[in-house]
Chains A and B, each alone.
Chain A
Amino acid sequence: MTVIDATGADSPLSLREGEQTLTGWGRTAPSAGIVRRVRTVDDIRAAISDAGPRGILARGLGRSYGDAAQSGGASILDLSAMNRIELDPATGTAHVGAGASLDSVMRALVPHGWFVPVTPGTRMVTVGGAIAADVHGKNHHRDGTFGSHVETMTLVDGRGEVHVIDRESSPEAFWATVGGMGLTGIVTQATFDLIPITSSRISVDTERTSSLDDVMDRMITGDDAYRYSVAWVDSVHPSGRGVLTRGDHASADQLAGKAAQAPLEFEPKVLATAPPIPTNGLVNPLTMRAFNEAWFRKAPKQRTGELQTIAEFFHPLDIVQDWNRVYGPSGFLQYQFAVPDSAGELVGRALTALRGVGALSALTVLKRFGAANPGPLSFPQPGWTLAVDVPAGVDGLGVVLDQLDDEVLAAGGRLYLAKDSRMSPAMMAATYPRLSEWQRHRDALDPQGVFTSDLARRLSL
C-alpha cells in the first residue's frame, strides 16, 4: 500500500459544528440537526451511544438533491476528516476513508495512473455518499454502479459494532448498505477497484441528434462500443433534439504537444462561484430557451476523437461552485426515473408533460443503464434513465410529477432516491418491491432505529 494522502485534517469542505439548518442540493425543505465532526471509529461509536431519540445520520457533501442527507433534530456526523487515501498498485485498488471526496481521490490517484471506477456528474461526493446512493456514471451500461466496484467496507452498525463487510462473507449487510441511503450504519472506509489509465484525457466522439428517436436509436446500436456514453436533450425543442457524447480513456500516445509532456496531469479549477440569488427570476422560460439553444449550438455536428479533460467530460458543472443557487430561494428538484426499454416512449412523454406546465430544464440527461446489481434499493435497472432539473416553484409541477410517477410505476420503473424530494411512500413501496427485504437486513444491523433521515421518515423506509 502506498499512502497517497493521509492529512486526516479538516477540509475546507467540513461542515460547521453545532446546530445547522441543512438542505439537499435542491435547497428545498430544510431541517435542523446538530453537526458533530468525527475523526475516528471510536468517535462514531461514542456518537452512536449518545444518540438521542432523533437518531444519527452521516452527511457527506450534500449533493443528493432532496432530503437524504439531513435529519431533523438528529446528530449529523461529518466524516470529512476521515479522508485517508491509500493505493495498492499491485491489485489496482484504493483504500479510502469514507469522508474523502471523489475529487480528492482523483487528485491523489490520477497522477499515478489510476481512475475511479465510477464517477457521477460531480466529483464533489464522498466515498461514503457514493456507496449510500450507489451512484452511477456515464459507464453504467458497461461497468455498473460504484457499489459494484467496492470490495470491502468497514461499517459501524446501530449497536456500535464494527464490521468489515464484503459481498462473499456478508452479502446481506453489504447489499443493504450499497444504495441503503446511509440507513444501515456509518461506513468509515472502503476498498474499491480502480481503472488503470495512461493519460488524464478522454477521447470523445460528439454528435448532434435531430430527435429523441434519433438519439435513442444511436445509443441502442452504438453504446456498446464506448465505455462512456450520455446524451443531453433539449427540453425546450419539441423534437427532443440533443447532443450525444461518448468516449473512452485516451492512451498517452494519443496526446500531442503540451499535454503529452504531462499525460497524467489533473488540476481541475473552479472558475466561478454563483452568488446567492434573491429571486426566482434567473431560471425562467426565457433563460431556459436561450440556454438550451446555446447548448445545442455549441456542440459540433459531428466530431470524433476530440481529447477532453476529465473535468470537461465528466464534471462540466463543477467549474461553477454553488451553481444550485441560480434557482433562487424556492430551490429546484431533479426528477430522475429509470424504465425498461419497453417503456422508452415515456422519455418523450415526460418531456412533453413538463413542457406543458412550463417546467423547462437546462440539464436534461438521457442514458442507457446496463444490468442491475443485487442491492435491494439500488436504483439502476436495464433500460433508460432520464434526469430533469426543474424549479420547485413552478405551478402545477406536483400534479404533473404525480402523473409521471403513475406512468413510471406502470412501466415497471422507479425513481432515484438520491434525487427524490417528493414522491409518495406508496410509490416508493410499489417501485422498490424488495423494500421489506432491505428493511429486514437494515433492522438486523440497526435494531433500535438509530440511523434515520428526513427521506426515511418521508418515505417510511
Chain B
Amino acid sequence: MMDALGEPQSVLVLGGSSEIALATVLALPRGRLRRVVLAGRPSPARDAAVATLTGAGVSGVEVVDFEAADTATHAQVIDGVFDAGDVDVVLLAFGVLGDQAEAEADPDTAVQIATVNYTGAVSVGLRVASRLRRQGHGTLVVLSSVAGDRARRSNFVYGSTKAGLDAFSQGLGDALHGTGARVLIVRPGFVRTRMTTGLEEAPMTIDPQDVAKIIVTALRKGKETVYAPGPLRFVMAGLKSVPRPLFRKLPI
C-alpha cells in the first residue's frame, strides 16, 4: 500500500533493465519499499539491475521473465506478479528506438519496433490496468516520449509508436478515473541512456536520474502528465503549432 506520505511498498518494472526505471526505483522513498519486481528478458543488463538495486540496499528484489513482443505470455506474467501481492507502482519502461533508415529500408524492422513499443504496451498495459482496478489502488507510470507529440521526418517510426502509446495511455487514464487506479504519462526528451548512445545530443538533454526525480515528484502530487525536463512542455506546445511546410525543414 502507498502510505500517506506517498511511500510505496511494492513496485513492478516492465522493462527490468531500463535505466530510467532503475533510476526511478532508486529515487523513490525507500523506507517502506519491500518488493521490487524486475520483469524483463534474462540478460546481463537485468542481472546488473538486480545487483545495482541490491547493492543500493533495496530489499525484496525479484525477477520475472517478460518479453514485450510475446503478448501471449503477458496475462500469466502479470497475474503471477499481482497474485503474490498488491502492486503500488508499475513502471512501463520497455521500448526500442530502432534505426529510422533501417526501418524504412526493411519494413519488418519497423514492424518489430511497433510490436514492442505499441502492441506490447497495449497488451500489458490493459492487463496491468485490470489488476490495478481490481485492487482499487495503484499507479501505472507510462514512459512515453516527446517524439510522440509530433512526428518528425528523422524518427517517425519510433515517434508514431510513442504517439500511439501516449494516446492509449491518456484514454486508459480516463477509463480508470474513479477506480482508485491511475495512469501517469511521462514524456521525456533526449535522455542519456544506452538507447541514445552515439546519437547527437539535443538541447535540454538530461540524465535518467533527472527523469526519475520528475517521476517521483509527479507520483507524490498525483499528476497525470509530466514532461522531462518540465519546460519541454512549452517547447513541444510551440513545435506542435509550427506549420508543416516549415516544420519539415526544421533541423530536428
Contact = CB atoms under 8 A, between A and B. Distances in A.
B137 interface: yes
B135 A28 contact: no
A15 B136 CA distance: 17
> Which 5 pairs from chain A and chain B are nearest by CB?
A72-B136, A32-B180, A421-B4, A28-B4, A73-B136
B137 A30 contact: yes
Interface string B1-44: 11111110100000000000000000001011010000000000
A26 interface: yes
B135 A19 contact: no
B46 to A, nearest CB: 28
B238 interface: no
A422 B4 contact: yes
A398 B6 CA distance: 10
Given A19-B179, A402-B31, A457-B86, A73 B4 contact: no
11 contacts: A28-B4, A32-B136, A54-B134, A67-B3, A73-B137, A73-B180, A331-B4, A398-B31, A421-B4, A422-B7, A424-B31
B176 to A, nearest CB: 10
A397 B5 contact: yes
A80 to B, nearest CB: 21
Interface string A141-158: 000000000000000000
Contacts of B3: 28-29, 67, 421-422, 458
Interface in A65-99: 66-67, 71-74
A398 B7 contact: yes
A67 B1 contact: yes
A31 B180 contact: yes
A32 B31 contact: no
Nearest to B3: A422
A21 interface: yes
A424 B135 contact: no
Interface size range of chain B in the complex: 20 to 34
Contact of B135 (A29, A73, A422): A73
A32 B1 contact: no
Contacts of A26: 4
A418 to B, nearest CB: 14
A32 B134 CA distance: 9
B4 A72 contact: no
Contacts of B2: 29
A234 interface: no
B5 A454 contact: no
A450 interface: no
DSSP majority for the B interface? Answer: loop
Interface string B171-214: 00000001111000000000000000000000000000000000
A392 interface: yes
Given A19-B178, A21-B180, A454 B4 contact: no
A243 to B, nearest CB: 28
A54 B86 CA distance: 11
Interface in B79-130: 86
Given A33-B136, A398-B31, A424-B31, A21 B4 contact: no
B32 A54 contact: no
Contacts of A66: 4
A393 to B, nearest CB: 8
Interface size range of chain A in the complex: 20 to 34
Contacts of A421: 3-4
B123 to A, nearest CB: 23
Contacts of A397: 5
Contacts of B136: 31-33, 54, 71-74
Contacts of A30: 137, 180
Contacts of A71: 136
A45 to B, nearest CB: 24
Interface in A432-461: 454, 457-458
Interface string B135-146: 111000000000
A72 B5 contact: no
A388 to B, nearest CB: 14
Given A21-B180, A33-B136, A54-B136, A392 B31 contact: no
A32 B180 CA distance: 5
A333 interface: yes
A32 B4 contact: no
Contacts of A21: 178-180
Contact of B4 (A33, A333, A457): A333
Nearest to A72: B136
A16 to B, nearest CB: 12
Most A C-beta atoms less than 10 A away, residue of B34, B86, B135, B137: B137
A392 B1 contact: no
A19 B7 CA distance: 25
Given A29-B3, A402-B31, 7 more contacts: A29-B6, A32-B136, A73-B137, A397-B5, A421-B3, A424-B31, A458-B1
A235 to B, nearest CB: 19
A419 to B, nearest CB: 10
A424 B133 CA distance: 25
Nearest to B7: A398
B180 A54 contact: no
Nearest to B182: A30
Nearest to A421: B4
A457 B2 CA distance: 10
Given A32-B179, A32-B180, A424-B31, A54 B135 contact: yes
Interface string A330-359: 110100000000000000000000000000
A383 to B, nearest CB: 26
B163 to A, nearest CB: 30
B129 to A, nearest CB: 13
B93 to A, nearest CB: 24
Contacts of A19: 178-179
